[in-house]
Structures are given as structure tokens and as C-alpha cells.
Amino acid sequence: MKVGLLQEAELMPGMDVATRYMDMIEEVALADRLGFSCWGTSEQHFSPPRFAVAAPEVLYAAVAQNTENIRLRVMCAVLLSWNHPILVAERLATLDIVSKGRAELATARSNNVHTMEAFGVDPKTTREQWADGIEVIAKAFTDDVLEHDGPIWKIPPREIMPKPVQKPHPPLSVAASSVASHVVAGERGIGALCFESYFGFEYLQECIDGYRQGLSKGTQMAPRRTEHMGLYVATAYCAETREEACRIAYDVAMGYYQFLVDIYVPLGKQGSYEYLDDKLQRLIDHRDDFDYLLTQTPSIMIGTPEDFVERIQRLEEMGIDEILMRIDGVAHADIMRSFELIGREVIPKVSAKVEAA
């Protein structure tokens, strides 16, 4: 089992963006020394203070210069009309060069109607835009001359520079919330990063099974096949005691959950997001139920190192091979302490289990 990190520069009251960026770079440097598998941030617009990274490619370059081993995974490049796939490919290749071959690319089609409206994107078209965009990226990474005639992008023959250091190209994956998206990821031979959206362990198992079903076809869309079943944990925090962990992480956990409810309710009414329809009431019913979130959904992991080991082992048995924990929105010193506990008391135990297998 690998243990990675997702951070989105969530701002506490009174904190400015510049301070949070500098703190976050220091946090990733510590995670690198402690043996975390990867670090990444998302591309977010118009959603402060929950998210404050709008130009992640710039931040990744700074992180690359302050780390040595940790993988730098873009989580995620939104493949909609405001992000031309050629630009995504060029930036990722540049990151791969400056990080000495540590870059990875996760992609997404967005789950935020608020953002899509601002950029003039019809939610009904996001699935098609993502599918065509990732095809362009795969070609840009590997073809001497890129040419593409797809339903969204029409690109005449062009030479793309630079190319990634990793050959044939960095690992590709997609952030997936629906079972259907997991199946598609498996069929394309790319990784799946599951954000099960607080729908519970049974739903997560359906997503994992869907991914394995897709992989079983043995097909792939790019020269490098990536078989990787990751899980986003929307709020994670590790402390010496469960009471301390809950005290520190309660506000950020409940705030993030409220945010997700607010964006998923309108999203479920849009075409191509129908999978949300029968699940939205579950989110609404547990809007204020912290105990439910702690025990009944994989999207929350708050507790002691022993709690983390127990949960991670359960997830591994289900078929997850990497946990991506969002540890953010609390004081910098608290984040550093949580990283230390996970790095020293969790990662060695779950990694040893893999090595002994």
C-alpha cells in the first residue's frame, strides 16, 4: 500500500495565500523525507477559501526544486475547453524534466457547475471533452508529429516540444466518482483515482470492481499501461489520540462535506452526471452527522496511527493500492505533526505488509 497526499491550499481565517503556499512547500519537503509516495494539488477556480490553487503547474515547479523522491502527480488536470490538451501535455512534460522524471498526470472532467458556468462549459459535454482531450495528450507525449481529428479537438500536424523524461510517457490516470468512469479507466488501461463522494464502503467496492472489470479486457489507449486503484480521502488527520484528531479536524471535515453537498446537488440535475441522482439524499440526510462520516464513509480518515493502519488495511483488502489523503485547512504546525505521525507510525507498517506479501 502506498500513502500519498492531496493538498489544495485551504485557507484558515486570517491567512493569506502567499503564506499558505510557502507553508505547503515546506510540508511537501517533510513528506518527501518521510517516505510519502506522491503529492499533488488540484486545479480550482472561484472557490476560496476551500481551494486556493488556480495555477498548479507553477506551484509544482517550486515543489520539484524542494524535494528529491516524492512523485509529483497533477490531481487533476481538468480536460475541458479552457485547458487545451496540448498545453496540458507541454506543462506536464516540463514538470517531468525539472523534477527529473517524477511527474504523473491525473485528469478530470470537473464536478463543479459554478466553475463550468464561468468558463462557458455545458456540463452535458464534459465526458466527451475529457475523452477526446486525453487522447490528444497521449499522442502529444509519444508521437513525433501530433495530428488529431476528434469530436472536440481538430489539430493539424504539429511537432510538440518538450517531451517527457519518462519513456514512453508518465503514468496517466483519471479522477472517477461513478462506477461507469471506473470501468472506462480500466478499459483504457489508465489508473483510477476514486473519489467516492461519501457514498459509503459498498459503493467504493462497486467502483473497485468496475475498474477491475475494465482492466480484464486487456485494452489500453496509450503505450504505457497504468494499473492503479487509488482512493481520495477528502479529509484526513492523524494525532496521538482520537479526541485530539477530531478536535483539530472537525471544522475542516464538516466544512468540506458541506461544500461537496452544495456542489453535488445542482450537479446531479445535469446531463451525464445521472449516477448522482439516487445518492444525493444520502448526502443531505447526513449533512450534520460527524460520527457517520467517521465510521461509514471512506472519504474521512481521522484518528490515531492505529486507526489509520486499521482503515488502510481494510481498504487494501477491498482492492485499493494507494491512499491519497487530503490533510489541509488546519494550522501549519498541526499538519507537520500529522505528517510526522503518519510517516513514522503508519507508512512503515502498511508498507511492511506489502513487502512481506
pLDDT along the chain (357 residues), means of 10: 97 96 98 98 90 94 98 95 96 98 94 83 91 98 97 98 97 95 97 88 96 98 97 97 98 90 68 62 81 93 98 98 98 98 98 51
Residue pair 350/30 in contact (Cβ under 8 Å)? The answer is: no
> Could you give the CA distance from residue 161 to residue 344 in angstroms, rounded to a whole number?
41
Looking at residue 355, what is its pLDDT? 42
Residue pair 80/167 in contact (Cβ under 8 Å)? The answer is: no
Looking at residue 245, what is its pLDDT? 98
Residue pair 339/308 in contact (Cβ under 8 Å)? The answer is: no
Looking at residue 270, what is its pLDDT? 61
Residue pair 201/296 in contact (Cβ under 8 Å)? The answer is: yes
Terminal Cα distance for the chain, rounded = 11
Supply the CATH number for residue 124's domain: 3.20.20.30
Query: Cell numbers 501530433 label which residue?
Result: 146
Q: How many residues does the chain have?
A: 357
Angle 315-317-320 from CA coordinates, rounded to 5°: 50
**Coil/strand/helix, residue 165:** coil
Looking at residue 326, what is its pLDDT? 98
Task: Show the DSSP H helices in the chain as ranges.
Answer: 17-34, 56-64, 85-98, 113-118, 126-142, 179-188, 201-215, 242-267, 280-285, 290-296, 305-318, 332-341, 347-356
Domain span at 141: 2-356
Distances from the Cα of 246 to the Cα of 232, 254, 266, 330, angstroms: 19, 11, 30, 12
> Could you give the CA distance from residue 226 to residue 212 in angstroms, rounded to a whole number?
12
Question: What's the total number of domains in the chain?
Answer: 1
Looking at residue 283, what is its pLDDT? 75
Of 30, 87, 98, whose CA–CA distance to 60 is shortest?
98
Looking at residue 357, what is its pLDDT? 35
pLDDT digits (tens, 9 = 90+) for 295-314: 999 999 999 999 999 999 99
pTM: 0.91
3-state DSSP helix/strand/coil % of the chain, to nearest 5: 50, 15, 35
Q: Is the peptide bond before 76 cis (omega within 30 degrees of 0)?
A: yes
Residue pair 27/16 in contact (Cβ under 8 Å)? The answer is: no
